[in-house]
Copies of this chain bind each other. A is one copy, B any other.
Amino acid sequence: MSRRYEDLSGPEIASNINTDSILLLPIGAIEQHGPHLPLSVDHVIADETATAVVEACGEELDVWQLPSLSISKSNEHAWSPGTLYYSPDTMAAVLRDIARGIASTGAERLVLLNGHGGNTTHLGTALRELRLEFGLKTFLMHPSLPPAYGGASTEEELGMGIHGGRDETSVFMHLRPELVHLNKAERRVPEGLAENTHVKFGGSTSFGWLSNDFFADGYIGDPTGASAALGEQLFAGAVDTLCEAMEEVKTFDFGR
Q: Which A residues are within 8 Å of any B CB, using their own CB?
A: 2, 4-14, 17, 30, 32-40, 43, 66-68, 70-71, 75-76, 78, 80-90, 92-94, 96-98, 101-102, 104-106, 118, 120-122, 124-132, 136-142, 145, 150, 179, 181, 190-194, 196-199, 204-210, 213-214, 218, 241, 244-245, 248-249, 252-256
**A124-B206 in contact (CB<8A):** yes
**In the assembly, what is the distance between CA of A132 and CA of B87, in Å?**
11
**A93-B89 in contact (CB<8A):** yes
**B97-A244 in contact (CB<8A):** no
Which of B66, B104, B214, B249 sits near A81, CB closer than 8 Å?
B104
**In the assembly, what is the distance between CA of A6 and CA of B88, in Å?**
21
**A9-B38 in contact (CB<8A):** yes
CB distance from A215 to the nearest CB of B (A): 9
**B85-A97 in contact (CB<8A):** yes
What are 8 residue pairs bridging A and B, where the CB atoms are less than 8 Å apart in the complex? A5-B39, A9-B36, A83-B104, A90-B96, A121-B122, A140-B206, A190-B254, A199-B249
Instruction: Report chain B residues within 8 Å CB of A255.
Output: 190-194, 214
- The number of times this chain is found in the oligomer is 6
**In the assembly, what is the distance between CA of A230 and CA of B246, in Å?**
39
**In the assembly, what is the distance between CA of A214 and CA of B78, in Å?**
33
**B127-A125 in contact (CB<8A):** no
Taking each of A7, A32, A82, A136, which has the highest tally of chain B beta carbons within 10 Å of its own beta carbon? A82
**A67-B71 in contact (CB<8A):** yes
Which of B128, B192, B218 sits near A209, CB closer than 8 Å?
B128
**In the assembly, what is the distance between CA of A179 and CA of B209, in Å?**
38
**A39-B9 in contact (CB<8A):** yes
**In the assembly, what is the distance between CA of A245 and CA of B68, in Å?**
30
Which B-chain residue is minimally distant from A198 (CB atoms)?
B245
**B125-A88 in contact (CB<8A):** yes
**B141-A204 in contact (CB<8A):** yes
